[in-house]
Structure 1
Amino acid sequence: MKNDNQIFGIRAIIEAIQSGTIIDKVFIQKESQGDLMRELLKSIKSKNINFSYVPVEKLNRMTAMNHQGAVATISPIAFHELEDMIVSTTEQGKMPLFLILDQLSDARNFGAIIRTAECTGVNGIIIQKQGSAPVNGDTVKTSAGAVFNVPICKVDHIKDAIFHLQGSGIKTVAATEKTDQNIYDINFNEPVAIIMGNEERGVNPSVLKVVDEKAKLPMYGTIESLNVSVACGAFLYEVVRQRLV
């Protein structure tokens, strides 16, 4: 069965996938088995849909209905292709500004970042298909509707997206404390993509190895890090400041 932003029940999710419904993520009960569940997993993998195994308690919190061990969230938006976002930005004569979120996991952080991205003129947001926060009701609400105004692209691997951007003449800058370089030493007055990391571990070390530059925010308190949405805002507004000159 289906409500405004969820589909619950194995057969209902399979049918939704086959009909072309834009599904953001499927939550599957741990240790679920059976022919129908195997059919669901086959459908999910064939369409490269984000999914995760969760305890039954999480599914019960998501819906009071008979979910049969599977709940899917429906995306409120259509996702864009990376190449289309780059070409569209270039054709409009804009200086590219992209944002890459390396497996950000919290939907409310995601929404807050989208809101700031819209306000600062970000041309597109890139997320990974697996392991990223869902685009759900919390995302829409926290973004204050900005999710409908900023193109969002899902990619198989963040590193591949970085290589594509670099090949298109767009500099990649990772926000990380694992550097001596200050954010205010970076030239953002050129085509650029900023990479923000996961709430707990930051930008993946393998991603840090392939970016063009790394930068950190100066910290003077006893707390070692900022909330990722706050840090992202600081980076984006430094881009705005430099481009206003």
Structure 2
Amino acid sequence: MSVAKIFGVHAAQATLDYAPTKIKQAWVDQNRKDERLLSLLKGLQKHNIRAEKADRKKLDNLSKGSNNQGIVLEVEMPAMRSESDLNAVVESNKQVPFWLILDHVQDPQNLGACLRTADAAGVQGVIVTKDQAVGITPTVCKVASGAAETVPVYQVTNLSRTLGWLKEQGIWIAGAAGEAEKTIYEMDVNMPLALVMGAEERGMRRLTREQCDFLVKIPMQGSVESLNVSVAAGVLIYEIFRQRLGA
């Protein structure tokens, strides 16, 4: 079991909402009496979680100087799922597959934001590489706002091999690439699908790209060459979601 510190009112509320049993300990500012903090204290009491009153210095030490907004929680981190877990879920899945794959994405802010979008759009899980990629961290959980508990994250050793196996299961692989001939809006993506996003700055690796059935891009009219990976993932995921809704 891996535990870590989560801090801030929004992150604490999300943990209370989605994973109260994961909270091992809580510290709150002994001098703050504002409505949001009092609401969190009531939530902690409801789940029989004792909140220790602490001064600002202790809270700053617990949060390593970050803005804690008067509350710090020690929580059990969501578990990363294995490749065998992924295989079992894919083989038993009764829904139309919809997966997000991140090829060596290393920024926890990006993973957290991708998880939040994945939860909102009904993505069944996120697949990441075991090496040279971020896993579930306190920052990921904070940014995900509860989605780290609701969207499973699977680590795989060999992404190219995993993509090949997903294709054998009848799942189409769509890669996001700026040099793609067609935009996401020109493609029919209402199909069993896994969307691959490349790493920050570098994009998809060659072997990953070679496993893609087709490439898609987001139309760009400004002077900026590309979008942040989590922003781009959000645009692409929601177009896939829109097509599935029949809009």
TM-score (norm 1): 0.67
Number of residues of Structure 1 aligned to a counterpart in Structure 2: 180
Instruction: State how 1:81-230 maps to structure 2 within 5 Å.
Output: 81-82=82-83, 84-85=85-86, 87-88=88-89, 91=92, 93-230=94-231
Indicate the structure (1 or 2) with the bigger Cα radius of gyration. 2
Q: CA deviation at 1:178?
A: 2.1
Change (3 A) 1:214 1:116: same
SS at match of 1:154: strand
Change (3 A) 1:226 1:157: same
RMSD between aligned alpha carbons? 2.5
Q: Do 1:189 and 1:243's aligned partners in 2 also have CA atoms closer than 8 Å? A: yes
Letter in 2 for 1:139: V
- Return the alpha-carbon distance in structure 2 between the equivalents of residues 4 and 167 of structure 1: 37
Q: 5+ unaligned residues in a row in structure 2: which ranges?
A: 6-62, 65-74
Change (3 A) 1:92 1:206: closer
Match of 2:48 in 1: none
Taking only the aligned residue pairs, the percentage that are identical comes to 34
Q: CA deviation at 1:91?
A: 4.1
Segments of 4+ moved more than 6 angstroms: none
Letter in 2 for 1:205: R
SS at match of 1:117: helix
Q: Do 2:80 and 2:136's aligned partners in 1 also have CA atoms closer than 8 Å? A: no
Change (3 A) 1:243 1:86: farther
Q: CA deviation at 1:209?
A: 1.4
What CA deviation, in whole Å up to 9, does each residue of 1:18-47 have, x standing for no partner?
Answer: xxxxxxxxxxxxxxxxxxxxxxxxxxxxxx
Q: CA deviation at 1:164?
A: 1.1
SS at match of 2:182: coil
Q: Do 2:156 and 2:162's aligned partners in 1 also have CA atoms closer than 8 Å? A: yes
SS at match of 1:119: helix
Letter in 2 for 1:223: V
Q: CA deviation at 1:75?
A: 7.9
SS at match of 2:165: helix
What CA deviation, in whole Å up to 9, does each residue of 1:30-82 have, x standing for no partner?
Answer: xxxxxxxxxxxxxxxxxxxxxxxxxxxxxxxx98xxxxxxxxxx981222244
Instruction: State how 1:34-113 maps to structure 2 within 5 Å.
Output: 76-82=77-83, 84-85=85-86, 87-88=88-89, 91=92, 93-113=94-114
Match of 2:243 in 1: 242
Q: CA deviation at 1:206?
A: 2.2
Q: 5+ unaligned residues in a row in structure 1: which ranges?
A: 7-61, 64-73
SS at match of 2:114: helix
Q: Do 1:89 and 1:123's aligned partners in 2 also have CA atoms closer than 8 Å? A: no
SS at match of 2:211: coil
Letter in 1 for 2:147: A
Letter in 1 for 2:153: I
TM-score (norm 2): 0.67
Letter in 2 for 1:137: P
- Return the alpha-carbon distance in structure 1 between the equivalents of residues 194 and 76 of structure 2: 24
Q: Do 1:110 and 1:133's aligned partners in 2 also have CA atoms closer than 8 Å? A: yes
Match of 1:5 in 2: 4
More deviation in 87-96 or 154-163? 87-96
Q: CA deviation at 1:205?
A: 2.1
- Return the alpha-carbon distance in structure 1 between the equivalents of residues 108 and 118 of structure 2: 15
Instruction: State how 1:8-23 maps to structure 2 within 5 Å.
Output: none
Change (3 A) 1:206 1:88: closer
Q: CA deviation at 1:159?
A: 0.5
SS at match of 1:209: helix
Match of 1:46 in 2: none
